[in-house]
Structure 1
Amino acid sequence: MTIAFWAAVALLLGGAMLFVLPPLLRPPVPKRSVSSPMEAYREQRAQIDAELAQGALSPSKHEQALQELQARVVDEVGEVEEPAPVQNTPQSTAFVLAVALLIPAGALAIYGFIGMPSALRGDEGAMASRGEQSPHALTQEQMEAMVEGLAQKLQKNPNDPDGWHMLARSYVAFNRMPEAAQAYEKANAQAPGNPQILADYADVLAMVNGRKLEGRPEQLVLEALKADPKHQKSLALAGTAAFNRGDFAKAADWWKQLLATLPPGSDQAKTVQANIEQAQGSGGATVAARPAAPAPAAGPADNGAAAAAGASVEGSVAIADAVKGSIAPGSVLFIYARPADGSRMPLAILREDAGKLPVRFKLDDSLAMTPQAKLSLHSDVMLVARISKTGDATPKPGDITGSLGPVKVGARDLKLVLNEVVK
């Protein structure tokens, strides 16, 4: 290390002491209490809802704003404690001197242990070993830990319908539908008559029941429409429920009401219009192949009831002979697309029986987990296939995986090969 380096270190540490020591020589000031993140969430949500009511926000922008707000609060949420009372006892001179000596010594010791002193010697290999991973990138495990933190907070303070709704949406994003249904039940019990909670709850219950809206899910949808007759997601689901039981006239009627709430000429409006015409015409046999209701986590902007035109990728998945013998009975095959920019949040995901390989697949917005993470918002994606012995969506050693990409959204006849065992 050079003399210039140590001179710079001494200057910086000396400057730091000018900020550290004076406060220690003064009596401390009592701290102010910290407001709850959930209180801030409620205030900001009320402002967003007000902008929607005033027409300043479209339904799609309103939903997007809510999603972004919820993501921030999930990140920030945690136990907020009131600051302990502070005694106005002056710091002793001995303590201040100890701090003045220990801070520089401690900083240098920590730097020598976890820092990169080799970089000062021009050791490029040490720098390269750190990798180029973005410090802001969140892994799936970190995101799941954030969700679990919110769940634990709600167990301690359960009287929070907004918190339960946020937790339910988070569970949906990780495809944990039974847990999402339980969270929606609590949110609905604490905020009865909320059309968004009712519609989301109905959608998740349908997913848990094999995509069937009959019974309790349809009752929740009709309850939501009593609270808000123009609620887009509820209108889409009501039409789907009527279509599934063969009442095509009623399905067309619900979808006409939905169409009236959508911007003329939009992709959603075109899709709904096509569904109406098919339901009125031949009985809608071709509609059954594509869901008329939005994906489970979809918000008002996605209630066009089907994937955006052309926003899909299609192909086949096969397994290499070298790893074919590693498939255990009952294994699950996951096929998903994620952004080509490196984000690991799936844009669309399929779950298949691994025993049926090779299989054909089509990924589109109907398989999205959140309104802000879907294929139609991207031009290029990475395709991943993975065989899980346990059926767990989180990769584990022993899983078999394969990837392809980047590929253009809209690509067809893609060939994805499972050829690697996760270590």
Structure 2
Amino acid sequence: MTAFWVVAGIFIVIALLFVIPALLRNYAPGKENAERETANVNIYRDQMAELAEDLRNDILSREQYEASKEELQKRMLQDLSTEHPFVKTFAVKRHGITAAVITLLAVPLLAVYLYTVIGDARGLLSQSQLASATQFHSNDTEEIPDGHAQMKSVMENLIARLQDNPEDVEGWLMLARSYAIMGRFDEASSAYSKLVEMQPESPQFLSDYADVLAMTNEGSLIGKPAQLIDKALKINPDYPKALALAGTVEFEKKQYGAAAAFWERLLVLIPVESELAKSISESIVQAKSMADEDEEQSAPVQLAKNDSVGTDIAAAPVPDNASTKQPAASGVPSISGIVTLNPALAGKVSATDTLFVFARASVGPKMPLAILRAQVKDLPVVFTLDDGMAMTPAMKLSSFPEVVIGARISKTGQAVPASGDLEGYSQPVKVGDTDVAVTIDQQVP
């Protein structure tokens, strides 16, 4: 966005450099004087271009650039309106100066105003800006924090455009992605549903829809998301995202061999030297290792079931909060610790409220890298998060040097933050730490 306004400003200035001398030239006849003014204009234009180049190359800061540009414009106006000692010129008429000043002010203001009113703001939103946008806690665009007014404006323009043109596929895609970045997965899934309705044979939209639906289902791809992924692969068996998600579905079902098979198909479709290829390779190794462990354990487990003592063990009930106490698989990167609740907030929760414990990158995307679910009655909770809990192979604990462990008590039972939820976060920690302490000590406004 900043680069756009810089470029737009440069073009406006260049346009004015053509208009202003023309206004003044009519009242300052003389060939030699006109040639001198033209030369000055060219010089200032070159200087303006050099300033813009210095800004792009980080030689000048934004403040230095603005100050230099303003000084250059002042010198330009002074030079163009000053009589030269060696050329006899006529005095510039007062109304000529007035017209020039009005033009100088009116042109850029009018251009900016017209763009904000009738321009297409989607062109200003780059993929990098979307990727770095923070997760909002709001369920309504009117409640977006002041610091994100730019995103709010874009969203309003998108919604207005789609009301006028409901068949705008590009608009629906941008809206869906924006909602997903903001953490508003219910709205994102509705937008992707519209896209799938308009283009039911698109593996991209089917895969993205499945991914977003999983976020509304506590990160699980089981159910409708898995059906969408299967449909995407029937349309295009080599669509990368569908293969990645299909592997995750099998991993979630504990079908580790099948998961590795999907990810091996994905691996041949991506550049060998890329970071994604490295991450996929690690996931394949992990899945195969866990598949081998399952095979090794299957024989003794079967024998145990035939023994009376073994039958009693197999029939023993599993505690409700067992998922929070399972040790990480051997060799799998993990983080463990304990979650506690500030006693001052104890009166604001009930025993059956849902507790989410999750890890996310300390710098970068806010999507959970691993997540588990418990209840308030289980507090204090001793937890272990590992790569086996990753939602996608490319987004897991070991993919980031530092992560933040968060804990949230949800009144609604949904993973998406809502007003009134209680939460707490750790300081950035490294994968492998075993004594991470998280205290839930604040309320979502």
Band the TM-score falls in, shorter-chain normalisation: 0.5 to 0.7
Aligned to 1:326: 348
Find the aligned partners of 2:291 and 2:377 in 1 and give their Cα distance. Answer: 36
Amino acid paired to 2:287: N
Relative to the length of structure 1, the TM-score reads 0.52
1: CA distance, partners of 2:358 / 2:255: 34
Query: Hey, what's the Cα distance between the residues in 1 that align with 2:132 and 2:205?
Result: 20
Q: Is contact 1:336-1:363 (8 Å) kept? A: yes
**Which residue of the partner structure matches residue 300 of structure 1?**
none
Q: Which residue does 2:339 correspond to in 1?
A: 317
Residue matched to 2:240: 232
What pairs with 1:146-157 in structure 2 (closer than 5 Å)? 147=155, 150-157=158-165
Letter in 2 for 1:186: K
1:213 maps to 222
If each structure's helix is expressed as a fraction of its own residues, which one has the higher value?
2
Partner of 1:36: 120
Partner of 2:167: 159
> Alpha carbons of 1:271 and 1:378: their partners in 2 closer, same or farther (altered >3 Å)?
closer
Residue from 121, 128, 135 that aligns with 1:68: 128
Say whether the 8 Å CA contact 2:210–2:221 is kept in structure 1: no
After TM superposition, the score normalised by the length of structure 2 is 0.50
Shift of 1:414: 0.9
Distance 2:124 2:244 in 1: 32
The Cα of 1:196 is off from its aligned counterpart by 2.1
Per the TM alignment, residue 141 of structure 1 is displaced from its structure 2 partner at its CA by 8.6
CA distance in 1, matches of 2:177, 2:169: 12
Q: Give 2:197's aligned residue.
A: 189
Change (3 A) 1:37 1:247: same
Q: Return the alpha-carbon distance in structure 2 between the equivalents of residues 243 and 381 of structure 1.
A: 23
Structure with greater Cα Rg: 2
Distance 1:326 1:150 in 2: 38
Structure-2 change in CA distance of 1:285 and 1:315 (3 Å): farther
Q: Do residues 387 (structure 1) and 409 (structure 2) align? A: yes
- Counterparts of 1:363 and 1:245 in 2: how far apart (Å)? 18
Cα distance change on mapping 1:381 and 1:200 into 2, 3 Å:
same
Letter in 1 for 2:173: H
One-letter amino acid of the structure 1 residue matched with residue 284 of structure 2: V
> What displacement does 1:385 show?
3.2
* Aligned counterpart, 2:281: 269
Aligned partners of 1:279, 1:255: CA distance in 2, in Å? 14
CA contact (8 A) 1:345 1:373 kept: no
Give the conservation status (yes or no) of the 8 Å contact 1:167–1:183: yes
Q: Structure 2 counterpart of 1:182, which letter? A: S
- State the 1:281 CA deviation: 7.2
Correspondence list, 1:7-406, <5 A: 22-24=100-102, 36-38=120-122, 67-68=127-128, 70=130, 147=155, 150-208=158-216, 211-214=220-223, 216-241=224-249, 253-262=261-270, 263=272, 266-276=278-288, 278-279=290-291, 282=294, 312-328=334-350, 331-337=353-359, 345=366, 348=369, 350=371, 352-363=374-385, 376=398, 378-389=400-411, 393-394=416-417, 396=419, 400-406=422-428
- 2:432 partner amino acid: G
Deviation string, structure 1 residues 131-159 (Cα, Å, up to 9, x no partner): xxxxxx98579757755664454344322
User: Secondary structure, in 3 states, of the residue corresponding to 1:317?
Assistant: strand
What is the rounded CA distance, in whole Å, between the counterparts of 1:413 and 1:187 in structure 2? 45
